[in-house]
């Protein structure tokens, strides 16, 4: 039952973060909300334990790639698939892929393109959101909190 509850919790966090970003954008508060959102997300995922947290960050990495996919451009849709792959690599190859994905997303946010009006400040907000998360994920990778193979996930019955 515990893995199911953790999965529901992580999905809830993803949905809540998406709605929170949308609400902040429509209230013209993306930049002001970015750093508190990052801190809240780090705390929220840290509560589930290292293995589930690593899986949660992998799911959030796919969500991160979807940030611009709603614009429908083929490049943005391609980026979603790249970020989903980076999330999977962060689980099955090295947790450093998670930190790298979040760090390079900051640069991606500053690639010139048209953004819908409520999201015109998204690049600055993402720098404030993605940066602390990238640093946190790098710390988790460096310190050994996140590992590959994941305990209990890749374990074979005895």
Q: What is the pLDDT along the chain (158 residues), one digit of tens a residue?
A: 688 999 999 999 999 999 998 899 889 999 999 999 999 999 999 999 999 999 999 999 999 888 777 666 788 888 889 999 999 999 999 999 999 999 999 988 788 777 777 777 888 999 999 999 999 999 999 999 999 887 665 445 44
Are 65 and 83 a contacting pair, CB within 8 Å? yes
What per-residue confidence (pLDDT) applies to 37?
Answer: 95
End-to-end CA distance of the chain: 21
What per-residue confidence (pLDDT) applies to 152?
Answer: 63
Are 129 and 31 a contacting pair, CB within 8 Å? no
Q: pTM, whole model, 2 decimals? A: 0.89
Task: Output the six-digit token pair for 32.
Answer: 């002001």
What per-residue confidence (pLDDT) applies to 123?
Answer: 85
Distance CA 47, CA 119 (A): 30
What per-residue confidence (pLDDT) applies to 158?
Answer: 46
Q: Where are the alpha helices (DSSP H) in 47-121?
A: 50-65, 74-92, 96-109
Distance CA 11, CA 8 (A): 5
What per-residue confidence (pLDDT) applies to 108?
Answer: 82
Task: Output the six-digit token pair for 85.
Answer: 């792959």
From residue 22, give the alpha-carbon distance in Å to each of 15, 26, 69, 133, 152.
Answer: 11, 6, 14, 19, 35
How many CB atoms are located within 10 Å of the residue 124 CB?
Answer: 14
């Amino acid at each position: 039952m515990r893995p199911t509850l953790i999965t529901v919790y992580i999905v809830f966090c993803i949905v809540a973060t998406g709605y929170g970003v949308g609400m902040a954008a429509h209230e013209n508060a993306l930049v002001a909300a970015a750093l508190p959102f990052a801190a809240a997300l780090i705390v929220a995922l840290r509560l589930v334990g290292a293995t589930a947290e690593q899986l949660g960050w992998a799911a959030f990495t796919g969500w991160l790639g979807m940030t611009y996919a709603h614009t429908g451009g083929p490049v943005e849709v391609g980026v979603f698939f790249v970020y989903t792959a980076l999330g999977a690599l962060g689980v099955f190859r090295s947790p450093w892929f998670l930190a790298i994905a979040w760090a390079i997303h900051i640069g991606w946010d500053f690639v010139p393109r048209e953004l819908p009006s409520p999201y015109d400040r998204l690049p600055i907000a993402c720098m404030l959101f993605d940066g602390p998360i990238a640093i946190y994920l790098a710390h988790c990778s460096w310190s050994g909190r996140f590992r590959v193979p994941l305990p209990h996930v890749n374990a074979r019955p005895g």
